Structure 1
């Protein structure tokens, strides 16, 4: 991932998109439940490419070994700060206003005394730099790439910068009213697992053992530089044997992938980490902004690593853990699912594919529309802001924010479904804090039920799922069959005081018709009398 340079931008505030329909399409008891969705919007039927084969009796997640399953070596230096001018970013990111996060945080703080302070969120990513705006709320979970070469605890070195930005959206807390940015759950704790890196690659040198624990590297990151800034495009990536800081993403969005050639991270270690979190109970929410994407082949086709992840996420949810994953980004190796039959996708994305146990998150942009890089699919659960991202600067020793990344030597905005997912993970942490009696599946139901549903049959589609999350509604709504702490409203009989349906009195019409009838009757009598007189006169003898 590239290093960062930060500078302020003015962002317009979009209108709220969609309508919060609280029970549509979720199977909740409601007299207003919508009809089943069409083939484009409903959950895919069994036997299609869009539905994974069910787990069998012998399918179980792998045991957590606590280290990588491959020896990796560093090929690029870690994300760095430049020597340029320190530029502050003091505006609020548009996503915070769009989701009304300030109001949601006030609600939780008033009810619980903190904003997620009793929650731990596991971040499975590229590691997390212990930025000062975490106030020490970041814990070591483990390292499945290599032993940190800067003396940090496992999982607390972020060479790519990706995981720190993800964790910042969840729990960053500047504690400075002049700084507009704040995390969704700014009092929550982060448990960091480094599972993926584009700055490391498999070590094929002959002197390496075939199955060692996590590797290490003696190279040290360069020092110095001002915070809140980004390497200029002409700058290299530090010193030592690396070839420069790797770019994080292109303009289509973050394109990192698990098991991508020349990078570190496998589906096997992802499954191990999920299993380990479930066994240890260290966190009640998992955020995975890491994906594996492949071309769909045939119904029933599933890879060994995918099956391990499927078993792991099911294992975790059954142990009361909310599992959140990014829906994936379009790339050369992950084409958009824009085919005619939604149940035969071009791309299958893991872990989102396992939507019975995983809440996957698509990305929207500032005007409320679906971000073009966000992968569509029947597994998409909800959506959240994923463009023009501002988060904690991931460079070591940084004390500020970042809103840019290096892409092909040029600065570009930070974007991707990777950054939409932590918005939802943060809200999930707030819901768990507000409703401690809700189990993991009920938390996910609440997030879906209170989302801003799209105008589609059943209240969902393959682009934003059940819609853009609505944190305020998720924290306050009374839903049919609610098992949370808030009491359900008591029904009250209202006296009917409605006016007549047409609102018009009939008296004037009756009077008018009566008068007309009387006039007609008088006219008929007059005509009869005149006719009789004339007839009598015509029968008299002539005068002389």
Structure 2
């Protein structure tokens, strides 16, 4: 009944190693329309085990996501599948090679990826009980096509900045990013872009990446404070070996193996990867936003992480599961206290602590004249005196008389001397 479909999804290099968190292999289930099984049950719908196992079908009793917009920043959402009829509200291309509505798949080997992701988030199915149905089947999708490596004419960093701004400006309540850079750091231009989303009350959901495609640790944008990073588990709820990675920034975990998605041509495939776990959580975020329209993004994320089922008591388990396995029904209906901050951290605080502080403009001086009061009169200057230097009284009463007496004495002495000489000369004159 099924056949193998190899999806060789290669890593792309843009500045750093940039890859989409995609499966190494996809298994085709069957093209639409899907014939029912002998029991009359649709095989595609039956394969979507997470709908019951993670409380999604139960949450539908409260809401199916109506009125919420989920932006899928990925390789584009195909036009052909019936699962997307009426689902895509708007779209754009930031890669430079797609179509203006974001509905033309971009990429040589990963073009199907965006459609797989979108179908898990908000696919409509092909009927009430047939086809691929998303977690929030009444939410609207925004298709934002990006390209990786040579499949784009613009840098990946710039594409992400533009994609986030466009999504926010077109009313996104949730943004899904099933992609990774494989490195923890991110371009500085992303600081402003992601903060723009947070400032506009948008929930940003990001895939943690897959070891099977070369991601050995969580990479950006899953390392950015404030995003809800999603790790992956297998059907039994155990941390996936190849279809997930680990790290301290993981917020929650969701199924990442034996997933079902619809390709742009309508083919239904089975695939693995946190690229599928992320849109499941993005869909849950849409359900929470629809059920609690008064909650801000921080509290939407808080409901998801606080109602997740913890796994293990070892601190190392936190690296694999974050707060635990998501529970859509609890996230929608449980009594959860409100918070004042995003439990996944603050990008604004991180930037202030770790980015180089921007120089602040110096205050400009006022050009108005200021009247200065006149200075007081100067004090009379008293010259410094010394016992070694004569003052006025010393000169008048001491030095001057002494000088006169000395001069007179000298004159008298000269006169006496002259007189003595005359007498001596007179005594030596011979008599006649």
TM-score range, shorter chain: 0.5 to 0.7
Cα pair 2:255 2:276 within 8 Å, conserved:
yes
Q: Deviations over 1:135-190 (max 9, x none)?
A: 22213432122344xxx543111241110111101111125244264211111110
For residues 381-460 of structure 1, the aligned pairs below 5 Å read 381-395=251-265, 398=266, 401-404=267-270, 414-456=271-313
Aligned to 1:376: 246
Unaligned stretches of 5+ in structure 2?
5-13, 16-25, 36-42, 341-432
| Partner Cα separation in structure 2 for residue 175 and residue 132 of structure 1 | 6
Residue 321 (1) aligns with residue 241 (2): no
Aligned to 2:89: 139
Secondary structure of the corresponding residue to residue 159 of structure 2: helix
Greater length-normalized contact order (CA 8 Å, ≥ 6 residues apart): 1
Cα pair 2:248 2:319 within 8 Å, conserved:
yes
Q: Deviations over 1:91-136 (max 9, x none)?
A: 241222211321111122xxxxxx2120110000000012222222
Aligned to 1:104: 59
Structure 2 CA distance for partners of 1:275 and 1:423, relative to 1, 3 Å:
same
Secondary structure of the corresponding residue to residue 122 of structure 1: strand
| Partner Cα separation in structure 2 for residue 184 and residue 86 of structure 1 | 20
| Partner Cα separation in structure 1 for residue 264 and residue 325 of structure 2 | 27
Aligned to 2:177: 288
Aligned to 2:103: 156
TM-superposed deviation, 1:473? 0.4
Aligned to 1:272: 162
Q: Deviations over 1:495-534 (max 9, x none)?
A: xxxxxxxxxxxxxxxxxxxxxxxxxxxxxxxxxxxxxxxx
Secondary structure of the corresponding residue to residue 382 of structure 1: strand
For residues 456-467 of structure 1, the aligned pairs below 5 Å read 456=313, 461-467=318-324
Aligned to 2:49: 94
TM-superposed deviation, 1:325? 0.3
TM-superposed deviation, 1:265? 6.0
| Partner Cα separation in structure 1 for residue 65 and residue 215 of structure 2 | 35
Q: Deviations over 1:67-110 (max 9, x none)?
A: x99xxxxxxxxx9x9x99976444241222211321111122xx
- Greater helix fraction, Structure 1 or Structure 2: 2
Cα pair 2:289 2:300 within 8 Å, conserved:
yes
Cα pair 1:93 1:389 within 8 Å, conserved:
yes
TM-superposed deviation, 1:332? 6.3
Aligned to 2:133: 182
TM-superposed deviation, 1:269? 1.4
RMSD of aligned C-alpha atoms? 3.2
Cα pair 1:173 1:182 within 8 Å, conserved:
yes
Unaligned stretches of 5+ in structure 1?
9-67, 70-78, 109-114, 203-213, 215-263, 297-301, 336-346, 405-413, 484-544
Aligned to 1:118: 67
Aligned to 2:359: none
- TM-score, normalization: structure 2? 0.64
Secondary structure of the corresponding residue to residue 446 of structure 1: helix
Structure 2 CA distance for partners of 1:357 and 1:281, relative to 1, 3 Å:
farther
Secondary structure of the corresponding residue to residue 141 of structure 1: strand
| Partner Cα separation in structure 1 for residue 126 and residue 202 of structure 2 | 29
| Partner Cα separation in structure 1 for residue 104 and residue 317 of structure 2 | 39
| Partner Cα separation in structure 2 for residue 378 and residue 84 of structure 1 | 39
Cα pair 1:140 1:192 within 8 Å, conserved:
yes
Aligned to 2:329: 472
Structure 2 CA distance for partners of 1:103 and 1:309, relative to 1, 3 Å:
same
Structure 2 CA distance for partners of 1:320 and 1:84, relative to 1, 3 Å:
closer
Aligned to 1:218: none
| Partner Cα separation in structure 1 for residue 151 and residue 291 of structure 2 | 42
| Partner Cα separation in structure 1 for residue 273 and residue 120 of structure 2 | 13
Secondary structure of the corresponding residue to residue 62 of structure 2: helix
| Partner Cα separation in structure 1 for residue 31 and residue 333 of structure 2 | 46
Secondary structure of the corresponding residue to residue 92 of structure 2: strand
